[in-house]
A and B are shown apart, each in its own frame.
Chain A
Amino acid sequence: MSRHAIALAQINPTLGNLERNVALHQKSAEEAIGRGASLLIFPELSLTGYFLKDIVSSVALALTSPLLDRLRDLSHRIDLVVGLVEESPEHLLYNAALYLSKGEIRHLHRKVYLPTYGIFDEQRYLAEGSRIRTFRAAVGRSAILICEDMWHPSTVCVASIDGMEILISPSASPGRGGLEEGQAFANARAWETITRAYAQLFTCYVLYANRVGYEDGACFWGGSEVIAPSGEPIAKAEYLSEQILMAEIDTAEVRRARMINPLLRDERLDITLREMERVRREGPR
Chain B
Amino acid sequence: MTGLSLHCEFARKILSGFIANEVRKTGFSRVIVGLSGGLDSALSAYLGAEALGAENVLALLMPYKTSSSESRAHAELIVKELGIQSDLIDITPMVDAYFERFPEADQVRRGNKMARERMTILFDVSAKFRALVLGTSNKTELLLGYGTLYGDMASAINPLGDLYKTQVRALAGHIGIPEAIIRKEPSGDLWVGQTDEAELGFTYEEVDQVLHLMVDRRFEIPDIVAAGFDEQFVRAVLAKIQSSQYKRRLPLIAKISARTIDRDFRYPRDWGK
Contacts and interface: CB of A to CB of B under 8 A. Distances in A.
Verify that A and B bind, or say they do not: yes
Given A53-B268, A180-B6, A217 B18 contact: yes
Contact of B270 (A15, A54, A177): A15
Interface string A159-194: 000000000000000010101111110000000000
B271 A179 contact: no
Contact of A240 (B13, B25, B157, B272): B13
Interface residues of A, number: 26
Interface in B108-154: none
Contact of B272 (A15, A180, A213, A214): A15
Residue of A14, A51, A179 contacting most chain B CB atoms (<10 Å): A179
A183 B9 contact: yes
Contact of A55 (B9, B13, B14, B271): B271
A17 interface: yes
B10 interface: yes
Contact of B14 (A12, A215, A240): A240
Nearest to B1: A180
A52 interface: yes
Contacts of A158: none
B7 A214 contact: no
Contact of B21 (A17, A177, A184, A214): A214
Given A54-B266, A179-B11, A16 B271 contact: yes
Given A177-B216, A179-B11, A217-B18, A15 B268 contact: yes
Interface of A: 12, 14-17, 51-55, 175, 177, 179-184, 213-217, 219, 239-240
18 contacts: A12-B21, A15-B270, A16-B271, A17-B272, A52-B268, A53-B268, A55-B271, A177-B216, A179-B10, A180-B4, A180-B7, A183-B9, A184-B10, A214-B17, A216-B268, A216-B270, A217-B22, A240-B14
Shortest beta-carbon contacts, A-B, top 6: A53-B266, A183-B10, A214-B21, A180-B5, A15-B270, A216-B268
